[in-house]
Structure 1
Amino acid sequence: MHFRAAQPRSHASKGSGIGKGAVGIDFGTTNSSVALAGPDGRVQLASFSFLGEAIPSFRSVLYLEQLKTASGMKRAHGYTGPQAIEHYLGAEEKGRLIQSLKSHLSSRTLTGTEVFGRRHRVEELVARILSDLRRHAEEQFGQEIRSAMVGRPVRFVGADSEEDDDFAVSRLRDSFLAAGFEDVQFEMEPLGAAYAYESTLDHDELILIGDFGGGTSDFSLLRVGPGINRRGRDASDLLGNTGVGLAGDAFDARIVHKLVSPALGSNSEARSLNKILPAVPAWIYANLERWHYLSFLRTNNVREILKSAYARALEPEKIAALMTVIDGDLGYQLHQAVQQVKFELSNSEQTEFRFRDAGPHSSTVDLRIPVTRGEFEKWIAEDLASIEHCVDSLLAVSGVSAQQVDCVFLTGGSSFVPAVRRIFASRFGSDRIRGGNEFTSVAYGLALRAANIPAGK
């Protein structure tokens, strides 16, 4: 957890916020979105095509594969966003799918990765995603995009100090510049959501923003409203920021660990001589908690481990299901089912985790597991406690009581989780909780922020 003192926001260089429109970009761990604020104040959100449907977000992923040329030579080809997922799912021989790159920006030791014999810097990989994101937005908005107000978390995943956060921002800036941007200004992501909420107000308020992304949960306490805008925003309007490096991805991992992995044999045992031992090494199941890691298990070494485990297992049917998931590279489909059960538990006290998919060689995995909201909340209890402590510490450090906060605006996918909402309802009252456009409000507000920056400042 990390606190950053209130400080003046950086201003854009000449030309930002003028012309055809001002651009806000929310580059997320899992998904990204782009918004354009026109001179009339209206905001347009970019949309993207995925499996024939228009969606408001661009998956923050990069898929690299090797294609054979007419001469028989192999060359690397890359796809980003929704196209990356489509090509990954459709490929018989999987290439390399890279996601959650934002989570690595604060690391000084992770500088890059090797793909098909070539070393790629993290900034280069991020830039590839951002370049396509910019191109898609330019085609839709009908204008060249070289300037943008970009969101950043209060605390980057893996950052232990303000210096780590500054290092991550510098790498993110380099990535945007490499992607063809010329003027990039940064704003805290929860403040982007605050500006989106502010646009709906006819009076001033003291608000708490909770922004729940894929990798981080960020919180800001600030004053907003038309009166603030008229007099001009200053540093004292931002009372404080804080964040913690966990959010939706952590919740998903808990479901996989507690619900899915046991159904695939994580707790199963096997006979080895005169001993009863775990059937499968724990590290194999750890790869299930991030869906794209499953591809790393499709090796001859893992296949031999699982064949041996199947022959000795006390519950061979579970090992067989695991083998089907790995051989079929069904990580994406499995995690879609995880997302679905999380959604259903946000609306019902109990549901059933359902996953059925045919693997190779006509084998089929069929999981139907009842699960209650209470069980899920026990699994994420430690994460919830971290969020609670984060919010309480923000209030304490800012010298603000819960009663003084006029509104709590929650955004991001995990803001729908009832246990998350209860954290805020118990402190501020359910009548003060607001939401809306949970997946695009940050980009929306960042575009408004960019449009309001005076030229030349």
Structure 2
Amino acid sequence: MGTAEDRHLAVGFDFGTTNSSVAIVDGDARVRFASFPSAGGETQSFRSVLYFEQYRNREGAKRTHALAGPAAIEHYLQTDEKGRLVQSLKSHLSSRTLTGTEVFGRRYKLEELISRMLNELRKHTSLQFGQSIRHAMVGRPVRFVGADTEDDQEFAVSRLRAAFSLAGFERVDFEMEPVAAAYTYEATLDHEELILIGDFGGGTSDFSLLRVGPEVRRRGRTPADLLGNSGVGLAGDSFDARIIRKLVSPALGSDSEARSLNKLLPAVPAWIYANLERWHYLSFLRTNNVREILRSARIRALEPEKIEALIAVVDEDLGYQLHRSVQELKFELSRAQEAEFRFREAGMDLRITVTRAKFESWIKEELEAIEGAVDTLLQSSGVDPHVVDRVFLTGGSSFVPAVRRIFENRFGVARIRGGNEFTSVAHGLALRAAELK
């Protein structure tokens, strides 16, 4: 049981692949968000990252220090000698092979790494609202990244629950993230609607079809109000991977060759570039084995300068900078028909013009998978698109024009709604927690 002082707080906890947020409903029934200090001022978005660095204490012994969230990003960017930035941990929850990683000689389990972020969020929120937080309504995707079976899904949930327990939570309840977003939209209604929620995170795209409105709230929500869920384990990170494959990897030698026994072979193994495409995997390349592979490739390569640039990206752990450049390109392409990709790090100065049409051709397979999930939901629920009153889209990738077209083509522009794209899930989770009190 939690302390007496936290029992009237309803807490919604949205732990995301890229960003996290926390909302509470207190005694006056208002939803309020936890805010976190950053270089740009207070923010309601907590970056889901950890930064480890080493230092020597007064006795000269090495110690490891860890930071989370905005402070982790800012410290990482300000430090000349980079430590270890660990990102997108939520994407690994369903993996039975990735149990953890080594940082400065110490092995950390995945649940322990996640718990460090969750504990920072819990402590900061407790301090802000002056009450110990030990209970939370926690969001979960309809389908976790990499989860192929229901056993994979349950395994991911059990690991997430364990991480919350390590972070000091005494009880957590789970709700589907798109259902939580539906609670946020429902709070604006004065009539009943049948809605489709599309929640686009960094790692997953999730969809729910449900009935909402004041009458549903008055009589109490029933299982029959949720007509169905569907989801795919891809979203913003998958779009990013395509940009890196097409624009960045060639500049780092993905198409380069090396001479070996009078034969021309790929200079660097393809799996290294596959890890580069997942910016949260980049830290895992900082091993002695990978460094040796790249040093050997540089000696034999026909374009050694490209391999040298790849070595710098890995050694300096530039995944965040790479991710930031990709995000800027996606943002500009959401507003204009063409934009320039810019990446100036590690001796590279990439400036490449990209059209929206070209970008959409790169993510064609991902768009088809999202379309398939939406159509599967409609078919399995027996719902015709014409009877859906509104479509509420949330999450960063909901801004991508090609994603919005999927819904506009099925439901019409007039029925599409959005808003609070980065906090709507936490808001709805808090409302859901309040409903159960």
Q: Which residue number corresponds to residue 233 of structure 1?
A: 221
State yes or no: 1:352 paired with 2:340. Answer: yes
Shift of 1:294: 3.6
Q: Which residue number corresponds to residue 308 of structure 1?
A: 299
Shift of 1:42: 1.7
Q: Which residue number corresponds to residue 60 of structure 1?
A: 48
Deviations 1:152-171 (A, max 9, x none): 11111121222221222122
Q: Which residue number corresponds to residue 411 of structure 1?
A: 394
Structure 2 unaligned regions, length at least 5: none
In structure 2, the CA distance between the partners of 1:338 and 1:182, relative to structure 1 (3 Å rule), is: same
Q: Which residue number corresponds to residue 376 of structure 1?
A: 359
- How far apart in 2 are the matches of 1:283 and 1:177? 35
Match of 1:365, SS state, is coil
Are the equivalent residues in 2 in contact too, given 1:325–1:365 (CA < 8 A)? no
Report % sequence identity. Answer: 67
Deviations 1:286-313 (A, max 9, x none): 2321335444257541452353255x32
Shift of 1:448: 1.1
Are the equivalent residues in 1 in contact too, given 2:200–2:396 (CA < 8 A)? yes
Q: Which residue number corresponds to residue 288 of structure 1?
A: 276
State yes or no: 1:164 paired with 2:155. Answer: no
In structure 2, the CA distance between the partners of 1:320 and 1:169, relative to structure 1 (3 Å rule), is: closer
State yes or no: 1:84 paired with 2:72. Answer: yes
Q: Which residue number corresponds to residue 70 of structure 1?
A: 58
In structure 2, the CA distance between the partners of 1:452 and 1:18, relative to structure 1 (3 Å rule), is: farther
- How far apart in 2 are the matches of 1:31 and 1:346? 20
- How far apart in 1 are the matches of 2:349 and 2:264? 27
Q: Which residue number corresponds to residue 38 of structure 2?
A: 50
- How far apart in 2 are the matches of 1:274 and 1:444? 62
In structure 2, the CA distance between the partners of 1:105 and 1:214, relative to structure 1 (3 Å rule), is: same
Q: Which moved more, 1:379-388 or 1:172-181?
A: 172-181
Are the equivalent residues in 1 in contact too, given 2:142–2:231 (CA < 8 A)? yes
Are the equivalent residues in 2 in contact too, given 1:324–1:365 (CA < 8 A)? no
Deviations 1:98-142 (A, max 9, x none): 222222222334333333333322222211111001111112222
Q: 1:430 aligns with which of 395, 413, 418?
A: 413
Letter in 1 for 2:397: S
Match of 1:197, SS state, is helix
Match of 1:164, SS state, is helix
Are the equivalent residues in 1 in contact too, given 2:179–2:208 (CA < 8 A)? yes
Shift of 1:438: 0.4
- How far apart in 2 are the matches of 1:220 and 1:175? 26
- How far apart in 1 are the matches of 2:217 and 2:6? 16
- How far apart in 2 are the matches of 1:437 and 1:266? 39
- How far apart in 1 are the matches of 2:336 and 2:161? 42
State yes or no: 1:132 paired with 2:123. Answer: no
In structure 2, the CA distance between the partners of 1:24 and 1:384, relative to structure 1 (3 Å rule), is: same
Give the TM-score normalised by structure 2: 0.92
In structure 2, the CA distance between the partners of 1:230 and 1:373, relative to structure 1 (3 Å rule), is: same
Are the equivalent residues in 2 in contact too, given 1:207–1:224 (CA < 8 A)? yes
Shift of 1:77: 2.0
- How far apart in 2 are the matches of 1:124 and 1:231? 41
Give the TM-score normalised by structure 1: 0.89
Q: 1:97 aligns with which of 85, 88, 91?
A: 85
In structure 2, the CA distance between the partners of 1:277 and 1:170, relative to structure 1 (3 Å rule), is: closer
Match of 1:48, SS state, is coil
Q: 1:251 aligns with which of 225, 230, 239?
A: 239
Match of 2:20, SS state, is strand
Shift of 1:275: 4.0
Letter in 2 for 1:159: A
Q: Which residue number corresponds to residue 5 of structure 1?
A: none
Root mean square deviation of aligned Cα: 2.3
Shift of 1:411: 0.5
Q: Give the number of the structure with larger relative contact order, counting CA–CA contacts within 8 Å between residues 6 or more apart.
A: 1
In structure 2, the CA distance between the partners of 1:256 and 1:127, relative to structure 1 (3 Å rule), is: same
Letter in 1 for 2:159: R
- How far apart in 2 are the matches of 1:142 and 1:16? 9
Q: 1:33 aligns with which of 4, 15, 21?
A: 21
Q: 2:427 aligns with which of 429, 440, 444?
A: 444
- How far apart in 1 are the matches of 2:97 and 2:256? 36
Match of 1:55, SS state, is coil
Structure 1 unaligned regions, length at least 5: 1-11
